[in-house]
Amino acid sequence: MSDVMKQVVSEILQGNKTLVAKGNHEPQHKESDTALNNINRPNYQNMKKDQRLSYAGKNVRISSNDRKPHERKKSVSLLPKPFNEESISTLHSRSLAQGNVPKKSNPNLGAKKARIIGNTKNGGCVWFFPQLPMDLMGSFNRSLNSVSVGVVKMPESLPSYIVLINEIIRNNQDVKFHITWNKEGDTPFTAELYDEDANRLEKIMNDIYQKINRTSLKRYETYTAVSPSSWLSKQMKIKPSADAIAFLEGVPYYTGIVLMDTLLRNFENNDFNFEINHNYILLEGNYHVISKLIAELKKEAARLVN
C-alpha cells in the first residue's frame, strides 16, 4: 500500500514541475510577440502592384541585356535540344549559301537573248536562238560552231511547210537546215535553221511565223509550185520531171475521197496524178490543168462544209 502511495505522490510532483516549467516560459512568448510586433514588415504584394502600375504609366522597356542571369538562362532553355546555337548557325550559313549563288561574268552581256517569236493559232511555235553558250550547242540535230538557230515546230506535217522551207533555202544559200516530217501528214513537223548571220536569220524566222500564223486561220488553203526543185520533189516523192504540183490542205482523209469523187466525175481530163493523204490532197501534172482542178477542189470543199 505504501508503494502505491509513493507512486501517486511521485506522479503528482512531476506534474507540478511541468506546470511550473510552462509558467516560466509564458513571459518569454509575450516578450517575443512584443518584439515581433515592433518589426516593420513591408507588404510585398502592394509594392509589386505599385511597381507594375508605375511601369505601365512610364511605358518602360527592358532590354535583353538588363535581364537577370536566371531569366536569360530560362529563355534559352525554352528551345528544344536539337535547335541549339550550333544547329541554328549551321542552318543560317546554309541558307545564305543557297540564296547567294554567284553569277558568272558574261563577256557577251549585250548579245541578244533566246526568245519565242510566237505561237500560231493551230498550236505551233517559232523560236529564235541568236547566240548559244557552249553548254547548249549540243541540244540540236546538227553540230554547231557559234551559229544562230531558228526552230519551227507544228503539230502536223503539211506540204506547205516543206514548200516554205524550200523557198527560204533557195533564196538563202548559206542557211543550213534539218527537217523532220512525214509525207502522210500524221506526225509533227520540225525544222531547224542554222545561220552565221544572226540578224538575217531573225528576219527569216519572223517571216516564217507571220506566214504560218496567217494561213493557220484559214480552214482550207491551196498551194501551187511550178517546176519543183529536186529537193522538194524528193520530199514529196514525185517525179523530178513534174511540171507543177498543187495541193489542198485542211481536208480530212475521207473528205478528200468525196472531193476527188466529185472532181473525177465532172472533169474528163485525166492528164494528172493525185494522192489523198491525211489532211491534204496532192495533184501533180501540167501547170494549167492542175491550177484549174485545185481551184475546183477548194470550192467543192467549202460547199460541203456549208
Name the β-bridge partners of 192.
Answer: 151, 178
Residue 244 phi, psi (nearest 5):
-160, 160
Instruction: Please indicate, yes or no, whether residues 203 and 231 belong to a single structural domain of this protein.
Output: no
- Domain boundary (217, 235, 270) is at 217
- Domain boundary (217, 238, 262) is at 217
User: Domain for residue 33, yes or no?
Assistant: no
H runs (alpha helix) in 223-285: 230-236, 253-266
pLDDT for residue 2:
59
Q: What is the average per-residue pLDDT within 238-251?
A: 91
Q: What is the average per-residue pLDDT within 29-54?
A: 54
Name the β-bridge partners of 191.
Answer: 152, 179
- b/e per residue 138-170 (b: at least 16 CB within 10 A): eebeeebeebbbbbbbbebbbbbbbbbbbebbe
Q: What is the mean pLDDT of the chain?
A: 77
User: Domain for residue 213, yes or no?
Assistant: yes
Considering its fold, how many domains does the chain have in total?
Answer: 2
User: Domain for residue 246, yes or no?
Assistant: yes
Quick one: pLDDT band at residue 268, thresholds 50, 70, 90? confident
Q: What is the average per-residue pLDDT within 249-278?
A: 90
User: Domain for residue 164, yes or no?
Assistant: yes
Instruction: Please indicate, yes or no, whether residues 262 and 276 belong to a single structural domain of this protein.
Output: yes
Q: Tell me how far apart the alpha carbons of residues 2 and 290 are, in angstroms, rounded to a whole number.
A: 164
21 or 220: which leads in pLDDT: 220
**3-state helix, strand and coil shares in percent for the chain, rounded to the nearest 5:** 50, 15, 30
pLDDT for residue 42:
59
pLDDT for residue 137:
83
Instruction: Please indicate, yes or no, whether residues 244 and 301 belong to a single structural domain of this protein.
Output: yes
Instruction: Please indicate, yes or no, whether residues 193 and 231 belong to a single structural domain of this protein.
Output: no
pLDDT for residue 274:
94
User: Domain for residue 271, yes or no?
Assistant: yes
- SS3 (DSSP) at 111: coil
Report pLDDT digits (tens) over 174-183: 999 999 999 8
Quick one: pLDDT band at residue 144, thresholds 50, 70, 90? confident
Q: Which domain holds residue 296?
A: 220-306
Whose cell is 544559200? That residue is 173
Contact yes or no for 281/275 (Cβ under 8 A): yes
Contact yes or no for 152/208 (Cβ under 8 A): yes
Contact yes or no for 127/201 (Cβ under 8 A): no
At residue 58, what is the residue type? K
pLDDT for residue 289:
92
User: Domain for residue 138, yes or no?
Assistant: yes
Quick one: pLDDT band at residue 201, thresholds 50, 70, 90? very high
Is a pLDDT exceeding 90 seen at residue 8?
no
Report pLDDT digits (tens) over 65-84: 445 444 444 444 444 555 45
- Domain boundary (217, 236, 253) is at 217
The percentage of the chain sitting over the pLDDT mark of 70, rounded to a whole number, equals 63
User: Domain for residue 46, yes or no?
Assistant: no
